[in-house]
Structure 1
Amino acid sequence: MVLANCRAQFTASDFEFVAKVLSKKGSQVSLVELLSDPECRDEMLDDEALAKALYSRQGQVAVSQQLYFYVLTRMALRRQGIEDRELADYVGALLWQFSTVQRMHSPHEKLPHQFHYIVEMLEALATASAAEAFLIRVHMGNYALFLSGMFRAWIERRQQRGAPDFSFYEEIGRTSFKTAAHHKLASQLELAQIYHQLADGFRYARLALNELSSQVWNPDAEPPIS
């Protein structure tokens, strides 16, 4: 499953990159603090110099996808008024995982389902167990956010031919996350609050990813849904 765990998977190279970039702007950076003090780490990760370095492709080869997606997602969400770091961590992890085509189409490694369209997920809910339904609904919310956030131009092109518009993805995303938030597994996985926030603020999260995709994505790219 997608978990809010980007920050827990930073590498030694990631911390060296953070220290190097921030030192260039005159900040006093201690690798010991970065490694041992989560609050210090989080404050440093909010520095705009890091996002600028990543946007300009400085050091992208040296950093992990977890650092890359967390830093850029965090900045994009903050521009939409979303300040919660755990939510940024979750959305960053979503982008990291869905950058792999197989993960994009599978709700969970232990489930046999491979979904390419939201309608397939809706149909699967009819025969799913309670646990399977939870996984499918979470995946449906993630899928709706990923498609509507990172492939804006693709949706707009399809909309002109009668395909669903952004309101469809926003409704699917909101209802999927809202339902998932009330499942006991969401509490056990400590994801209930994140799902509630995505249900309430889906549109703003989508707009944040629209902005991010325009800066780091090919604007004419199409998702690998077939």
Structure 2
Amino acid sequence: MVLANCRAQFTASDFDFIAKALSTQGTRHISLVELLSDPECRDEMLDHQALPKALLSREGQVGVSQQLYFYVLVRTVLRRQGIEDRELADYIAALLWQFSSTQRLHMPHEKLPHRFHYLVEMLEALSTASAAEAFVIRVHMGNYALFLSGMFRAWITRRQQRGAPDPSFYEEIGRSSFKTVATHKLAYQLELAQVYHQLADGFRDARLALNELAQTVWKPEEAPPFV
């Protein structure tokens, strides 16, 4: 499952990068000890405007983890859409990190035999899925819809001209999928119920944030690398 756990997986090199990037911005001296031991300090520093600039520089893309890279950039574009929740930023960053692997994009869970390439295949699979499997598939549907409509909206629009689903289809699938899973007991066990609720209510804002991010780090006019 995609979990809101990017911040928990930062590496020593990530913290060193943060400390060095901020030391050149006239901020107070930040020690690695503070970043490692004080979550509030860490989150405050991760919101500094110098970090996305540093990460998007040629030097910043060397030696940092995907978790740090995606978290900082996702957090930045979400805040521009008025979305301040850090757990939601962490979740969407983890989504981009995991879906950068084609295998993970097509496989909802490592213990399920299903491999999907289209949302319609996921909808069909729900008819024979157990309750737990249906939860996993619906979460994957929401994630898949957000990833495609957020990072490859131009591609979706072009395919629409040939009879493929339009962007509103992806938004409806995403909203309804997250709304359904938000009240499932497994969502509470995974501590993701609130994240799913936010994605159900604010799917469009999250999608718009990813549209902006795609313009920066992707080539959104191109087809996804997995089709």
Length-normalised TM-score, structure 1 = 0.98
The one-letter code of the counterpart of 1:152 is: R
The one-letter code of the counterpart of 1:192 is: A
**Map of 1:204 onto structure 2:** 205
Q: Does the Cα contact within 8 Å between 1:15 and 1:34 map onto a contact in 2? A: yes
- Secondary structure of 1:59 counterpart: helix
- More off after superposition, 131-140 vs 55-64: 55-64
The one-letter code of the counterpart of 2:96 is: L
Alpha-carbon displacement from aligned partner over 1:101-129 (angstroms, at most 9, x marks no partner): 00000100000000000000000000000
Q: Distance in 1 between matches of 2:220 and 2:144?
A: 18
**Map of 2:124 onto structure 1:** 123
Q: Does the Cα contact within 8 Å between 1:117 and 1:225 map onto a contact in 2? A: no
Structure 2 residue 29 is matched with structure 1 residue 2: no
**Map of 1:27 onto structure 2:** 27
1:220 is displaced (CA, Å) by: 2.5
Please list, as runs of the form range in 1=range in 2, the aligned pairs for 1:122-201 lying within 5 A after superposition.
122-201=123-202
Q: Distance in 1 between matches of 2:2 and 2:137?
A: 12
**Map of 2:66 onto structure 1:** 65
Length-normalised TM-score, structure 2 = 0.98
**Map of 1:105 onto structure 2:** 106
The one-letter code of the counterpart of 1:122 is: L
The one-letter code of the counterpart of 2:204 is: R
1:225 is displaced (CA, Å) by: 4.3
Q: Distance in 2 between matches of 1:62 and 1:73?
A: 19
Moved over 6 A (4+): none
Q: Distance in 1 between matches of 2:116 and 2:25?
A: 46
Alpha-carbon displacement from aligned partner over 1:120-168 (angstroms, at most 9, x marks no partner): 0000000000000000000000000000000011011112222211111
Please provide the CA RMSD for this pair.
0.9
Q: Does the Cα contact within 8 Å between 1:134 and 1:183 map onto a contact in 2? A: yes
Q: Distance in 2 between matches of 1:171 and 1:81?
A: 21
Q: Distance in 1 between matches of 2:120 and 2:225?
A: 16
Q: Distance in 2 between matches of 1:139 and 1:111?
A: 12
Q: Across the two proteins, how many residue pairs are aligned to each other?
A: 226
Please, which runs of 5 or more residues in structure 1 have no aligned partner? none
Q: Does the Cα contact within 8 Å between 1:150 and 1:209 map onto a contact in 2? A: yes
Q: Distance in 2 between matches of 1:219 and 1:6?
A: 24
- More off after superposition, 118-127 vs 158-167: 158-167
Q: Does the Cα contact within 8 Å between 1:97 and 1:104 map onto a contact in 2? A: yes
The one-letter code of the counterpart of 1:6 is: C
| Identity value in percent | 81
The one-letter code of the counterpart of 2:216 is: Q
Please, which runs of 5 or more residues in structure 2 have no aligned partner? none
- More off after superposition, 52-61 vs 175-184: 52-61
